[in-house]
Amino acid sequence: MIDLRSDTVTRPTGEMRRAMAEAAVGDDVFGEDPTVNRLEEYVAELLGKEAALYAPSGTMTNQIGVFVNTGRGDEVLLHEEAHVFNYEGGAPALLSGVQLRPLPGARGAIRPETLRAAVRPEDVHFARPRLLCLENTHNVSGGKVLPLEDFAAVAGSARDLGLKVHLDGARLFNAAVATGVAAREWCAHADTLSVCSSKGLGAPVGSLLAGARETIREARRARKAFGGGMRQAGVIAVASLHAFVHHRERLAEDHRRARLLAEGLAGAGYTVEPPETNIVLLQTDDPKALLAALARENVLATSGGAGKVRLCTHLDVDDRDIENAVEAAGRVRAPGGGR
């Protein structure tokens, strides 16, 4: 089976498992797990922030980010195809009591003028605009990079309008590797940001929220309240640390394979968007039928929204898998193929 559904399907490597077996641990709710502490310090430094907080998932770190930057009844502005809006179970309403204001924009990006037009003045009729959430790379648009200048421009507008900025950086290192711009350059324009070790970096679990020391102190309270306080978490935190140290640069391999895959699929007659990172979107009239036909050829992918199929490269696929996936897709497309 060639599993291209998501970059979350990776299994821990042998080295990662050895590190997990040997990790020093303590009770992290008491702040006594040396491995978790090491991971938080490493990631804070990597992202150029004062502090970081380890949590079970990117949903939790995003939602803690929303919580610490807002109050009940505030308005959070974000892209209409943002993960925080579409794929986090309604958590901003559930956990923070905020109202979401989805905004349009090409490539998952919000333009400064769109933001300025959407932010309303102080008036008893209006929810208070408080936070802008940005996402980089942008998942639904096919792993598109939000370039640093564009990111800085919209974050600057947000600041001028009195808003805080949270960055959903589940795949921020894909953006960094694809552009050669250090992750911390983007982070400098955000108050809080979330990064995942369980996507292309290949850890089994774990995300971090980074920000100012005082903000992360509040975030630690919120993590406990949301049920994310873990005890001897060093056994899993060490896998994240290993992923951040050893698997960041190799994301370039995933990007190269995504290009290989896109070229192969285009050669087989599919309409494919050129990938910027590790996500390939292809257009099809009938995603369900194509996904079923590919599955019969032992290639797994997912729906990429209306009229699209999404394929994702990651640590557990190699060049041979990509060649095989392209051949399978070619057979499916041939007259009477894939049956």
Ligand X SMILES: *Cc1c(COP(=O)(O)O)cnc(C)c1O
Q: Is 114 in the site for ligand X (CB under 6 A)?
A: no
Residue nearer to ligand X on the CB measure, 83 or 220? 83
Q: Is 57 in the site for ligand X (CB under 6 A)?
A: yes
Query: 143, 314 in Cβ contact below 8 A?
Result: no
As a dihedral over the C-alpha atoms of residue 106, residue 197, residue 188, residue 214, rounded to 10 degrees, the angle is 120
**Residue among 324, 240, 268 nearest 33 (CA):** 240
Q: Is 59 in the site for ligand X (CB under 6 A)?
A: yes
Q: Pick from 28, 40, 75, 135: which binds ligand X (CB under 6 A)?
A: 135
- How many residues bind ligand X (CB under 6 A)? The answer is 13
Q: Is 58 in the site for ligand X (CB under 6 A)?
A: yes
Q: Is 13 in the site for ligand X (CB under 6 A)?
A: no
Interior angle at CA 170, CA 108 and CA 64, nearest 5: 100
Coil, helix or strand at residue 57 = coil
Q: Per CB under 6 A, which of residues 66..85 are in contact with ligand X?
A: 83
For 194, 241, 272, 308, the CA distances from 285, given in Å and listed in that order, are 35, 42, 13, 8
* Token duo for residue 149: 């200048």
d(CA 164, CA 69): 7
d(CA 269, CA 259): 15
For ligand X, which stretch binds (CB under 6 A), given 15-23, 58-66, 118-126, 314-322?
A: 58-66
For ligand X, which stretch binds (CB under 6 A), given 54-62, 106-114, 269-277, 308-316?
A: 54-62
Report, in Å, the least distance between residue 87 CB and ligand X: 7
Q: Is 304 in the site for ligand X (CB under 6 A)?
A: no
User: 7: buried, middle or exposed (CB in 10 Å: 19+, 13-18, 0-12)?
Assistant: buried
Q: Per-residue x/- mask for ligand X, residues 140 to 179, rule CB under 6 A? A: ----------------------------x-x---------
Q: Per-residue x/- mask for ligand X, residues 190 to 209, rule CB under 6 A? A: ------x-xx-------x--
For ligand X, which stretch binds (CB under 6 A), given 51-59, 109-117, 302-310, 313-321?
A: 51-59
**Residue among 54, 76, 141 nearest 106 (CA):** 141
- Residues in contact with ligand X by CB under 6 A are 57-59, 62, 83, 135, 139, 168, 170, 196, 198-199, 207
